[in-house]
Amino acid sequence: MSAVNDTNFNSAVFLLTGIPGQEDVHLWISIPFCFMYLISIVGNSVILFIIKTDPSLHEPMYIFLSMLAITDLALSISTMPTTLGIFLFNSREISLNACFAQLFFIPSLQCIESSMLLLMAFDRFIAIRDPLRYAAILTLPRITKLGLVCVLRGVAVILPLPFLLKRFRYCRANVLSHSYCMHNEVMNMACSDITVNNIYGLFTKLLTMGLDLLLIFFSYLMILKIVLSIAFHSECLKALNTCVSHLCAVLLFYTPAIGLSVLHRFRKGSSPILQIILGYNSMLVPPLMNPIVYSMKSKHLCVRIIRVFMK
């Protein structure tokens, strides 16, 4: 289908894009994508199964990890149909309503994941600052309420975006540069004034991921201050070691997401390939790597996983 240039296509479709110039080898490229999605879904499902079935893992740290795994599962599932559809079947068309649904679920889940990473930073801070009262402070009802607040915040902040986009008339080229719908790209294809959308989109980024990252940074400043006050070197290293998995998860999530957001907003002439790579990294790498990182760094969890597969 050719790009629509001068007509209203509110009832028509957008065209998604895989990797430009590599259409002939899309089927081969689909193999690593399939493996990545498979490992993401299996890895996060195994984490959830083990935490649910092992009473010894019903601790705040692992409950937060299970929340993160649920979010990663949902994030993988929200991008998998369109991404694999392009690489396996060259199915590029997506209706406006489906596109609006996707650009609601993806940023909502990213916002929820950002909140979960903030809660996990708070969890590490409490565990290091006040280990004797750790379980008393982070009780199951309190953790449940915190998780619910994170979900409600993600939904409430992102919900206006598809409705703001739905009121526009779209008459520019309908070819998107990713294999899933993004607010910035769809917004720029509208033939109307997008100032409100632009301001609100930036506001959502700052209110969610920007604020969360700032609070995570302050949490680790406090953790570092506490750790440096510990007299014994071995205890200091042990305390820091409990934060390594979380730090890896933070870097894996925020680095490509912030880079992609900056490129879309401030570097209009940036390389499309760089944008595509960052886009896939932000969607695929965190759900893929989080189960691996936490399994490797948590001996308790690693032993349970090995025991399950041995059986």
62 in a domain, yes or no?
yes
pLDDT tens for 242-281 read 788 888 999 999 988 888 777 766 666 566 777 888 888 8
* pTM of full prediction above 0.85: yes
CATH number for the domain harbouring residue 237: 1.20.1070.10
- Domain containing residue 154: 13-310
81 in a domain, yes or no?
yes
168 in a domain, yes or no?
yes
Q: Which residues of 180-199 are buried (b: 16+ CB within 10 A; e: fewer)?
A: bbbbbbbbebbeeebeebee
d(CA 35, CA 197): 36
pLDDT tens for 162-192 read 888 888 887 767 888 888 988 888 888 888 7
4 in a domain, yes or no?
no
Task: Check residue 1 and give its pLDDT.
Answer: 39
232 in a domain, yes or no?
yes
1 in a domain, yes or no?
no
Residues 6+ apart with CB under 8 A from 24: none
8 in a domain, yes or no?
no
Number of domains comprising the chain? 1
301 in a domain, yes or no?
yes
Residue ranges for the chain with pLDDT beneath 50: 1-9, 11
Torsion of CA 263, 269, 270, 271, to 10 degrees: 140
CA atoms within 13 A on the CB side of 162: 18
